[in-house]
Structure 1
Amino acid sequence: MAAALRGLGLLQGRVRLAATAATTSSFRRPGQRAPVRAGAAATVPSAGKSYGSEAKEEEELRIRYLDDEHKGIVVLGLNRSHAKNALSKNLLKMMSKAVDALKSDKKVRTVIFRSEVPGIFCAGADLKERAKMHSSEVSSFVSKTRATINEMANLPVPTIAAIDGAALGGGLELALACDIRVAASSAKMGLVETKLAIIPGAGGTQRLPRTIGVSLAKELIFSARIVDGEEAKSIGLISHVVEQNEAGDAAYRRALALAKEFLPQGPVAMRVAKLAINQGMEVDLVTGLAIEEACYAQTIPTKDRIEGLLAFKEKRPPRYKGE
């Protein structure tokens, strides 16, 4: 128990699914994504601010801090259209830099991972780039991939994967590192449908059984089966499946609506709740309850708790103003 409590500051992410060689050409959608504009949850909000270079077409990762009623939500968009968002050394570097900035930003309340490329979430590792690597570089690349995705899993705020399109190998690994997964599915020809492929990898054999159960995880890993959004929902691999729309961003819009539901909640309470759940799932119940108690103690002197108690007493929604 003492060891578990000493580890409260660390969320142990342990996941890596190997890149699959399955083709993704059948997952493309004709036409372009609807333009980004400000609006309600049913639309795609405009960017608030970004760091690094300005938002240009060639950026492999787009970071958007949303405004107005979506303030506190940050969107990380994969944008390697020529490589189906395959994970390259440069993209991993950008993701690591972004996550490092987000984890210490107290104004961030929820992070959404999505794709800016129609028809694909992420095709896994960039096998073309890997083929050019010296054998000594491959191990370093795999370690960097694992570390970056673990950093994503360890973000202290809720994270949502909006899967509008195929998530293959390492792409599914990214989604599994998020707290909540939303996928789109469609019976209509020409619209983007989520496809998920699972094959063995360094870490995927650990996170997948924790998500869907040991027996089913073995079945999917042994067969390298591709499942669609509906089947993924039925086995608990994703939390929500939505009908795909003409713009090809239905999963993102649902993720945005979910993230908006989180905004009224106390930021400190949200962070310690995630910590307690993640740490508690790795230990026995008695130790888990001790972890919960230690986490709850962190909320007692905060404005979050005082505001929440006042709201309950006055029977009104709480008015949190941050930490």
Structure 2
Amino acid sequence: MEARVTIEISEGVADVRLARPDKLNALDPAMFAGIIDAIARLEQAPGLRAAVLSGEGRGFCAGLDMASMAQSGLGGGSGLDIAARTHGLANDFQQVAWGWRTLAVPVIAAIHGVAFGGGLQIASGADIRIAAPGTRLSVMEMKWGIVPDMAGYALWRGNVRDDVLRELAYTAREFDAAEAQASGFVTRIAEDPHAEALALARAIAGRNPHAIRAAKRLANLEADAGETLLAESREQAGLLRTPNQIEAVMANMQKRPPNFID
């Protein structure tokens, strides 16, 4: 069986692609395993500074391959213990989306074609989501009589307007990239989202990698104002007067590219 997910890393940027184009990258057991493995590999990749997540072929991800999941015994109320936490806060199905949010480096999703159901939740795990103008999206689970359960609600909270999310979850209707941007599912729209995402990832990779990771930790923090203020101070104290922080200052003053260490 061909790999369901491919990874190419160049100059600190991982180009990660869902690779089941004949099925619009729909999620079967092998795709779930491939995404979980890809996240684990990236967690251990030396010198990684950013990642781009996209889908090969005509779409990002069409969501669950219901026939394949049912055949494998992983769908249709098979008795699988989805309450078991297999990856920290998440189960296996949630990890394919939540794992991008907990990855130490920024992740940019490049979305085109379709992002339905689980595919939309996977894209939502990225820090930033860039969509092609013609992209079709849907919180599709209600079509199958179920609810989003691949970390969607945890990822959408704070990004997507609550009443809009409720309407889309209750109806499972499709919406386009412009509506997705207006409601918070998508960060911005670009004619070539993959090229735009790679350019952004390379720009991020050119910044102090320790500061970027600290910024992502702060962005992921769910705490009250007092804890957040203290966390800011601790992260900043850990960065000030370090070699990379000094290099950022010197490179700016000398108007040259910085040379950071990982």
State the TM-score bracket (shorter-chain normalisation): 0.7 to 0.9
Equivalence for 1:136: 79
Residue identity in the other structure for 1:211: N
Q: 1:77, 1:275 → 2: CA distance?
A: 25
CA RMSD of aligned residues (A): 2.2
Residue 148 of structure 1: aligned partner: 96
> In the alignment, is residue 220 of structure 1 matched against residue 168 of structure 2?
yes
Task: Give TM-score scaled by structure 1 length.
Answer: 0.71
Give, in whole Å, the separation in 1 of the partners of 2:94 and 2:130. 22
Equivalent in the alignment of 2:227:
287
Runs of 4+ more than 6 Å apart: none
1:122 aligned residue: 61
Question: What does 1:1-323 correspond to in 2, within 5 Å?
Answer: 58-66=2-10, 71-117=11-57, 119-134=58-73, 135-137=78-80, 139=82, 143-185=91-133, 193-199=134-140, 200-202=147-149, 203-243=151-191, 250-279=192-221, 282-300=222-240, 302-312=242-252, 314-323=253-262
Conserved 8 A contact 2:159-2:184: yes
Structure 2 CA distance for partners of 1:65 and 1:206, relative to 1, 3 Å:
closer
1:271 deviation in Å? 0.3
Deviation, structure 1 residue 75: 0.8
Contact 1:103–1:156 (8 Å) recurs in 2:
yes
Give the secondary-structure state (helix, strand or coil) at the position aligned to 2:52. Answer: strand
**In 2, distance between residues paired with 1:298 and 1:93?**
36
User: Residue 195 of structure 1: CA displacement?
Assistant: 0.7
What SS does structure 2 have at the residue aligned with 1:322?
coil
Indicate if the aligned counterparts of 2:161 and 2:183 stay in contact, CA closer than 8 A.
Answer: no
CA distance in 2, matches of 1:182, 1:214: 21
Q: Which runs of 5+ in 2 are unaligned?
A: 141-146
Q: Which position in structure 2 is the counterpart of 1:10?
A: none
Query: Which amino acid is the alignment partner of residue 131 of structure 2?
Result: A
Compute the displacement of 1:318 (Å).
4.9
Q: In structure 2, do the counterparts of structure 1 residues 317 and 289 end up closer, same or farther at CA, with 3 Å as the change threshold?
A: farther
- Given that residues 265 and 320 in structure 1 are in contact (C-alpha distance below 8 angstroms), is that contact kept between their aligned partners in structure 2? no
Q: Distance in 2 between the 1:85 and 1:112 partners?
A: 16
Matched to 2:12, the amino acid is G
Amino acid at match of 2:148: G
1:149-202 CA distance string (max 9 Å, x none): 2222211101000002100000001110000000001xxxxxxx2111014312
Output the TM-score relative to the length of structure 2: 0.86
How much does 1:81 deviate? Answer: 2.2
Deviation digits for residues 33-92 of structure 1 (CA, Å, limit 9, x no counterpart): xxxxxxxxxxxxxxxxxxxxxxxx9332111113xxxx1111111111232211122222
Q: Which 10-residue stretch deviates more, 263-272 or 203-212?
A: 203-212
Question: What is the aligned length?
Answer: 246
**1:137 deviation in Å?**
4.2
Secondary structure of 1:77's counterpart equals: strand
Partner of 1:36: none
User: Does 1 or 2 have the higher relative contact order (CA < 8 Å, sep 6+)?
Assistant: 1
Instruction: Describe the shift of the 1:197–1:105 C-alpha distance in structure 2 as closer, same or farther (beyond 3 A).
Output: same
Higher helix share: 2
Residues of 2 paired with 1:284 and 1:106: CA distance?
Answer: 33
Once structures 1 and 2 are overlaid, which stretch shifts more, 301-310 or 121-130? Answer: 301-310
**Aligned counterparts of 1:136 and 1:101: Cα–Cα separation in 2:** 30
Pairwise CA distance, 1:299:
1.4
Q: Which runs of 5+ in 1 are unaligned?
A: 1-56, 186-192, 244-249
Cα distance in 2 between the residues matched to 1:301 and 1:63: 35
CA separation of 1:297/1:104 partners in 2, compared to 1, >3 Å: closer, same or farther? farther
Give the letter for the 2:55 counterpart: S
Structure 2 vs 1, CA of residues 219 and 317 (structure 1 numbering), >3 Å: closer, same or farther?
Answer: farther
Identify which range, 209-218 or 132-141, moves more after superposition: 132-141
Identity %: 29
Q: Distance in 2 between matches of 1:295 and 1:156?
A: 14
- In the aligned structure 2, how far is the partner of 1:270 from the partner of 1:112? 15
